[in-house]
Amino acid sequence: MTDGGKAPYGFADAADAPIAYLRRIRDYYEALGYGTPYEWAHYYDAPFTPLSKPLAACRVAIVTTAAPYSPDKGDQGPGAPYNAAAKFYEVYSGDTAAEHDLRISHVAIDRKHTTAEDPGTYFPLAELRRAAACGRIGSAAPRFHGMPTNRSHRVTIETDCPEVVARAKADGVDAAILVPNCPVCHQTVSLAARMLEEGGIATVVMGCARDIVEYVGVPRLLFSDFPLGNAAGRPNDPESQTLTLELALRLLESAPGSRTTMQSPLKWSDDLDWKLDYSNAARMTPGEIANRRADFDRQKATARTLREDAGATRDRRVEAPAGSRTAHGSEPA
């Protein structure tokens, strides 16, 4: 914890700034002993599609990186450790009129300062239904869509993003809210947002990793300065979740152009340890770092087997789409 001393002139604590995930992750994997750092997707511009009608007449979809719960895939409950066995490798869709049990044990969220106990923090379907019921939006789309967090730019851009766009268009969607969880999730949904906008569908990313989303380049970002896994609001805090969705809807309506970021006024905690702890090798002992490396290698082996069984592929070196950089080298969480 920081010392909590008051800074002069009412300044905030120097540590009370958004986590620089791009640098934090690079340093973390370097400390674990991996080689060439991962290169994140990066564009200099971003497409922009304004709403074609009032939001009260729009059909709005959710795109999530959460996974359907599978009892045969190990611990996926609140507080579960990272579980590569729960990953999925193809876009899936679900009926928004039904109830769904989605989990995020398969991605690298903050596990020390949050537990994923409340699905409302990462899957805002209940809030979207309420927005439709009160007339804030025209309707929730008949389906939501789940995207795999594939680290390959090629697979994400050439396979997963077009599939999400096709499904959204088939449902007559006017706007989409994309909700990532882990660092790579933020890259995945940012690439999807770009393609949805190019297809004439307005988007807003609700995210907690501001630097990753802005580095990729999206039309609209609602940034919540919360631990990863809580992009839709604080756990067990319905007012927080309602406000977070409302801010995203306002951004859909009011963004003047691409690369518009709005920061939520909500604060996670006065204790800043959550910002200092996440994947921070400087706060780990050599033994902890060695254990992290061993566990990560085990999880990678599990994920590799699942990808092969699913027939999914992931290139370590891929051709870059125009204006982007390629992904290669060691992999981020």
Q: Number of structural domains, the chain?
A: 1
Q: Does residue 297 form part of some domain?
A: no
Q: Is residue 39 part of a domain?
A: no
Q: How far is 40 from 320, CA to CA, in rounded Å?
A: 11
Judge whether 323 and 43 are in contact, CB under 8 Å: yes
Residue 142 resides in a domain: yes
Q: Has residue 331 been placed in a domain?
A: no
Does any domain span residue 176? Answer: yes
pLDDT at 316: 37
* Phi, psi dihedrals of residue 3, rounded to the nearest 5°: -75, -15
For residue 274, the one-letter residue type is W
DSSP secondary structure, 132-162, as one string: HHTTSSSEE-SEEEE----S-HHHIIIIIHH
Q: Does some domain include residue 327?
A: no
User: What CA–CA distance (Å, rounded) separates 111 from 125?
Assistant: 23
Q: What is the mean pLDDT of each successive set of 10 residues along the chain, which is 333 residues long?
A: 62 93 94 91 97 97 96 90 89 98 90 93 98 98 95 94 98 98 96 98 98 98 97 98 98 98 96 94 93 85 75 44 33 43
Q: What is the pLDDT of residue 133?
A: 98
CB-CB neighbours of 115 under 10 Å:
16
pLDDT at position 193 is 98
Closest CA to 274 of 225, 202, 203: 225
Q: Which residues is 203 bridged to in the sheet?
A: 176
The pLDDT assigned to 318 comes to 32
Q: Report the alpha-carbon distance of residue 111 to residue 82 in Å, rounded.
A: 8
What range defines the domain where residue 116 resides?
55-263
Note if the pTM is more than 0.75: yes
For CA atoms 150, 155, 159, 165, give the dihedral sign.
positive
290 within some domain: no
171 occurs within a structural domain: yes
Cβ neighbors of 252 (< 8 A, separation 6 or more) are: 51, 55, 175, 202, 203, 204, 220
Residue 264, SS3 per DSSP = coil
